Amino acid sequence: MSGELMGTKELARYLDIHEKQVYALIKAGRLPATKITGKWIFPKKMVDAWIERHAGQGIKEARRKSSHIEGAVLAAGSNDPILDVLLTVMKKSHPDYYFFSAVTGSTDGLKALNGGYTDVAWCHLLDPENGSYNTPAILAKLLPEVRPVVVHLFRRQLGLIVASGNPWRVGGIADLAGGRLRLVNRQEGSGTRILLDQRLAQSGLRKEEISGYEREVYTHFEVGLAVLSGEADVGIGSVYVAKMLGLSFVPLTEESFDMILSRDTFFSEGIQAFLEVLKSSGMRSQLAGLANYGFADTGKILYAQS
């Protein structure tokens, strides 16, 4: 279909919603659409204008609704099983505060934070210029409307998850060449996808050479389950998932997984309660036994824009 026209599936991908939600919006008369030969057609220019027209209203409405839940903190961005542990301990320690977290990928998490859709972004974006994560240069690009604070959560090993025993003898990204291995990829904009693309470029590999490059999932567990079920031979994920599922793991890098938020939000009661939990002796003792993760600087402020 022409880039100027979209069908329901294309529009669902474009808006990052389920196709059923597209039909619901059509039925409610909330989308600019035309039916031709029995199929719904959406002019991209009209959709873009519709998005722009409703964006400001949507942000205000989301904020209005969230403010009705006392103690609510909205979060979006990357994911990791350890993050789930942190939020569970937070809930047990401070039951009056609620973290609502959506898995969107690091890039979209920062975009949501910049647009006012969320209070917190979970992020691990590598800056290829210096090899560091979540740098001021990255934040300046993706958070022009926010004075950000970066709080370190943990360091983790990210690598190639393969079948138990590594039957393909995978040793690194270069082994993806030739199409012999079926990849399960992460979604565009995720920190893991960005890492993969950088490593492919460094290895001189083109995306078109990689079998399964277009197959996308949203979480580390989905990557691990695809390998465990035999639907894929390899994918990038955390060592925690590989060990939990009894799969083999080929390390690629150690990265910083951080919490990013505005200076104003940083001083809110919910965030301060979360920081209290992060720095507590109970939390540190609970996490101490986890191999391949680093918690020495958990809770440390890595950057705060003045």
> Which residue bears the tokens 């083109």?
206
Average pLDDT, the chain: 87
Do 44 and 189 have their domain in common?
no
CA–CA separation, 278 and 300 (whole Å): 10
Contact assessment for residue 151 and residue 216, using Cβ atoms and an 8 Å cutoff: no
CATH of the domain at 205: 3.40.190.10
| 152 within some domain | no
Number of domains in the chain: 3
Do 14 and 96 have their domain in common?
no
| 282 within some domain | yes
Do 140 and 269 have their domain in common?
yes
Is 251's pLDDT higher than 60? yes
Residue span of the structural domain in which 108 resides: 64-147+262-304
Do 166 and 247 have their domain in common?
yes
Is 64's pLDDT higher than 50? no
CA–CA separation, 5 and 51 (whole Å): 16
pLDDT of residue 69: 60
Find the mean pLDDT for residues 56-77.
61
Pairing, β 293-294 against β 148-162: antiparallel
pTM: 0.74
Is 298 in a helix, a strand, or coil?
coil
Do 175 and 248 have their domain in common?
yes
CA–CA separation, 254 and 246 (whole Å): 21
In angstroms, the Cα distances linking 27 to 24, 33, 90, 256, 286 are 5, 10, 41, 44, 50
Range of 34-38, 59-63, 157-161, 279-283 with top mean pLDDT: 157-161
pLDDT of residue 28: 65
Do 217 and 82 have their domain in common?
no
Query: At which of 237, 254, 271 does a domain end?
Result: 254
| 10 within some domain | yes
- Give pLDDT tens digits for 283-295: 888 887 777 889 9
Give the contacts of 63 (CB within 8 A, at least 6 positions apart): 116
* Among 193, 176, 189, 200, residue whose Cα is nearest residue 237: 193
| 226 within some domain | yes
Do 53 and 19 have their domain in common?
yes
Ranges of beta strands (E only) in the chain are 5-6, 34-36, 39-43, 72-77, 98-103, 120-123, 126-127, 132-133, 148-162, 183-186, 216-217, 234-238, 248-262, 293-294, 301-304
Range of 5-9, 18-22, 31-35 with top mean pLDDT: 5-9
Distance of CA 100 to the CA centre of its chain: 14
- Give pLDDT tens digits for 196-247: 999 999 999 999 999 999 999 999 999 999 999 999 999 999 999 999 999 9
| 153 within some domain | no
CA–CA separation, 273 and 90 (whole Å): 8
DSSP 213-243: TT-EESSHHHHHHHHHTTS-SEEEEEHHHHH
Find the mean pLDDT for residues 277-283.
87
| 206 within some domain | yes
Do 165 and 242 have their domain in common?
yes
pLDDT of residue 58: 47
Give the contacts of 252 (CB within 8 A, at least 6 positions apart): 158, 159, 160, 172, 173, 195, 199, 236
Is 306 in a helix, a strand, or coil?
coil
CATH of the domain at 16: 1.10.1660
pLDDT of residue 236: 98
